[in-house]
Amino acid sequence: MAQVFAVTDAIKSLAEAEARFHLSRADETFFPEWCASLPLLTELEQEALNTIRNRLLYHRADGELLEGAVTLLVASPLLELAGFYDPPFRMKAEAAIEIALNDGEEILRGRIDILILQQQLWVMVLESKKTMISVRSALPQALAYLMASNNLEKPRFGMLTNGDDVVFIKLATQPAAQYALSRAFSIYTVASELQSAFQVLKQLGRAIATPPSA
């Protein structure tokens, strides 16, 4: 009978994630989507981003933010502004995932905060009070969630945020299982960082929605 574990209990370090899923970290050429030819922002997008950041600063001034507040103030508005709630995308909240390891003898289960477009974009929201540790501390679990996709042919992307910072992930399993990270965007500290993070999100939307050329 298979043993069942929570992802957060089974994968606690980056070394464990890499070993369990036979992952290796790729060089910067593997993830050009976060830094190359980023789309320009419209005036309306810039105004909306200013509103998002002003709201974040206003509520953050009262203290640390819980996960639900970060979702409402940061993650969901960015996804909406980038068009991820409209066709051709589909959204699931609190999506359950299950990963079978060791020929089905071990099952890892968990829930991802927001899942976009048939498991090609995953969004993880952390409580802001956990910013004593870098947002990258969620990377081991994020890699596990990305590995849960049924579509192994297409690359998958992840966005991690705690309301203070945003980090993007790209993972692919063919021809080899590998991943890479963007730099951390300090959206709470620097106004322009929110705009830069949004440009990356827009770029990922285009990459996902556009079919590969023949």
No. of H helices and E strands in the chain? 7, 8
| Residue 105 within a domain | no
| Residue 102 within a domain | no
Which stretches within 102-190 are classed as H helix? Answer: 139-146
Which residue has 């190359």 as its token pair? 36
Q: Above 80 in pLDDT, residue 106?
A: yes
| Residue 5 within a domain | no
Domain count, the chain: 1
- Residue-wise pLDDT for 43-85, tens only, equals 999 999 999 999 999 999 998 888 888 999 999 999 999 999 9
| Residue 137 within a domain | yes
CATH number at residue 56: 3.90.1570
| Predicted local confidence at residue 183, as pLDDT | 94
Burial 174-183 (b: 16+ CB within 10 A, else e): eeebbbbbbe
**Amino acid code (one letter) for 80:** E
Q: Which residue has the higher pLDDT, 102 or 43?
A: 43
| Residue 107 within a domain | no
Confidence of residue 92 (pLDDT cuts 50, 70, 90): confident
pTM of the predicted model as reported, rounded to 2 decimal places: 0.90
Backbone φ and ψ of 148, nearest 5°: -80, -5
| Residue 214 within a domain | no
DSSP state letter for 126: -
Confidence of residue 120 (pLDDT cuts 50, 70, 90): confident
What does the alpha-carbon distance between residue 124 and residue 176 come to, in Å, rounded to a whole number?
24
| Residue 104 within a domain | no
| Residue 196 within a domain | yes
Full residue range of the structural domain in which residue 86 is found = 14-95+112-209
